[in-house]
């Protein structure tokens, strides 16, 4: 059995630093960033904790090994040398996924086949068997080739971490839960979650629900299961311990002032159903009104939104009206901070204010700017 594990929290492009900050706040001080991932070390219990707690990462991987692979022989031998038998039991299911970029071994299906064959050969030696039924727990292996270096990982998560378990239905092109959490954490609203929070284009309700989960310190993975929960190498008591820690950390005595609104009544129905499933039926207010009619209440609030992009003919004019209205609100609510993720290049011009901060992010495959119009922080009591 290995000691410290080399772990990877994968990150959507542009959010690596947010994932790294999350890891450091969870106590992993050796985290370091690479493109699309954050590397850190941990024990078996940390696989459980990170899957339960990471809000902005896509999945938690075990780094099995990394080596140069210019030929199929090098890929085969390098893969076979890794300790697969320490993780995969004789009846384990182990599909192989792959990617290749700027590498001699450019055929992904061929690389997947070589990796699979090498792991089978290694397991034959360990289990004295010629055939593996693959009827047991699932161990998804990925081979990533980049600049002729092969990285082999084992996925502990299963369905990506944005699948929290509270959203049964969604509006068209919903904001991923991981991205919604990142927008909130970047706003620093969570440092004082008693402040008002408003999303005037709430769609499926993802931003308000993620805000409520952050405010109450609810681990985002509490309502779902993970592939590695069925792995014999991770005893049930570790998952039980991690879940008990998460339940004990909930702070549901913090009063919430969170509102979401949308022009689409079907979206509000979906939002309310998702909020109920997440345990916030009474804590989040949802309103069926157009964004240009909203009237946020209170001081030092945060308006965070993913406004429509106006991709269809005729919608662009409506989007400009919405942005202009948000700009007027920002003048009328001088203590509020406004945040918007948008691909609209003229957003600041229509808003009539330069953003204090901007950050390039990808909402799905759409390149966006996360524009931050900052108001004053609430006074310290």
- What digits encode the pLDDT tens for the residues 302-320? 999 999 887 654 578 889 9
Q: Is the pLDDT of residue 172 over 90?
A: no
Question: Which tokens belong to 209?
Answer: 């629900």
pLDDT reported for residue 1:
44
Per-residue pLDDT, averaged over 40-56, amounts to: 98
Question: How far is it, in rounded angstroms, from Cα 247 to Cα 76?
Answer: 44
Q: Is the pLDDT of residue 170 over 90?
A: no
pLDDT reported for residue 169:
81
Question: How far is it, in rounded angstroms, from Cα 126 to Cα 84?
Answer: 9
* DSSP assignments along 24-93, one per residue: HHTT-TT-EEETTEEEEEE-HHHHHHHHHH-SS-S-EEEEEEEEE-SSHHHHHHHHHTS-GGGT--TT-B
Minimum mean pLDDT among 9-18, 77-86, 164-173: which range? 164-173
First vs last Cα of the chain: how many Å apart? 51
Contact 150, 98 (CB under 8 A): no
Per-residue pLDDT, averaged over 100-115, amounts to: 97
* DSSP assignments along 117-128, one per residue: HHHHHHHHHHHT
Q: What angle do CA 26, 182, 254 make, to 5 degrees?
A: 70
Question: How far is it, in rounded angstroms, from Cα 275 to Cα 286?
Answer: 10
Minimum mean pLDDT among 151-155, 296-300, 361-365: which range? 361-365
Find where tokens 């509006």 sit.
171
Q: What angle do CA 63, 65, 66 make, to 5 degrees?
A: 110
Per-residue pLDDT, averaged over 210-235, amounts to: 96
Q: How far is CA 6 from CA 9, 214, 235, 327, in A?
A: 10, 27, 19, 47
Per-residue pLDDT, averaged over 155-165, amounts to: 96
Q: Is the pLDDT of residue 2 over 60?
A: no
Contact 200, 261 (CB under 8 A): yes
Q: Is the pLDDT of residue 171 over 80?
A: no
Print the SS3 string covering 139-174: CEEEEEEECCEEEEEEECCCCCCCCCCCCCCCCCCC
Question: How far is it, in rounded angstroms, from Cα 317 to Cα 312?
Answer: 10
pLDDT exceeding 90 applies to what percent of the chain? 91
Q: Is the pLDDT of residue 251 over 70?
A: yes
Grade residue 63 by pLDDT with cuts at 50, 70 and 90.
Answer: very high
Across all residues in the chain, what is the average pLDDT? 95
pLDDT reported for residue 206:
96
Query: What CA dihedral angle connects 78, 83, 88 and 89, to 10 degrees?
Result: 130
């Amino acid at each position: 059995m290995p000691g410290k594990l080399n772990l990877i929290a994968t990150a959507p492009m542009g959010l690596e630093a947010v994932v790294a900050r999350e890891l450091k706040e969870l106590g992993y001080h050796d985290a370091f960033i690479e493109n699309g991932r954050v590397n850190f070390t941990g024990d078996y219990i940390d696989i459980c904790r990170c899957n339960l707690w990471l809000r902005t990462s896509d999945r938690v991987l075990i780094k099995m090994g990394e080596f140069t692979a210019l030929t199929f022989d090098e890929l085969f031998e390098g893969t076979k040398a890794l300790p697969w038998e320490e993780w995969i039991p004789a009846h384990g299911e182990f599909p192989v996924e792959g990617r290749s970029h700027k590498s001699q071994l450019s055929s992904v299906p061929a690389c997947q086949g070589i990796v699979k064959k090498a792991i089978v050969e290694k397991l034959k030696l360990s289990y004295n068997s010629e055939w593996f039924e693959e009827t047991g727990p699932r161990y998804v292996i990925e081979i990533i080739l980049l600049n002729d270096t092969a990285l082999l990982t084992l996925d502990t998560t299963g369905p990506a971490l944005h699948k929290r378990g509270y959203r049964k239905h969604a509006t068209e092109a919903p904001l991923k839960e991981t991205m919604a959490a990142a927008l909130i954490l970047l706003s620093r609203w969570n440092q004082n979650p008693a402040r008002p929070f408003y999303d005037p284009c709430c769609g499926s309700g993802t931003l308000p629900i993620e805000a409520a989960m952050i405010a109450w310190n609810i681990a985002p993975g509490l309502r779902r299961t993970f592939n590695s929960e069925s792995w014999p190498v991770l005893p049930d008591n570790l998952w039980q311990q991690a879940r008990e820690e998460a339940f004990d950390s909930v702070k549901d005595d913090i009063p919430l002032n969170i509102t979401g609104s949308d022009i689409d009544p079907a979206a509000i129905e979906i939002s309310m159903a998702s909020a109920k499933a997440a345990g916030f039926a009474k804590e989040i207010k949802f309103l069926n009104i157009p964004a240009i009619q909203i009237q946020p209440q209170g001081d030092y609030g945060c308006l965070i939104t993913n406004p429509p992009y106006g991709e269809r003919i005729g919608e662009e004019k409506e989007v400009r009206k919405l942005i202009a209205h948000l700009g007027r609100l920002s003048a009328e609510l001088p203590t509020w901070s406004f945040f918007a993720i948008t691909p609209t290049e003229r957003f600041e011009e229509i808003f009539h204010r330069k953003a204090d901060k901007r950050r390039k992010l990808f909402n799905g495959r759409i390149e966006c700017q996360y524009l931050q119009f900052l108001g004053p922080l609430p006074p310290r009591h």
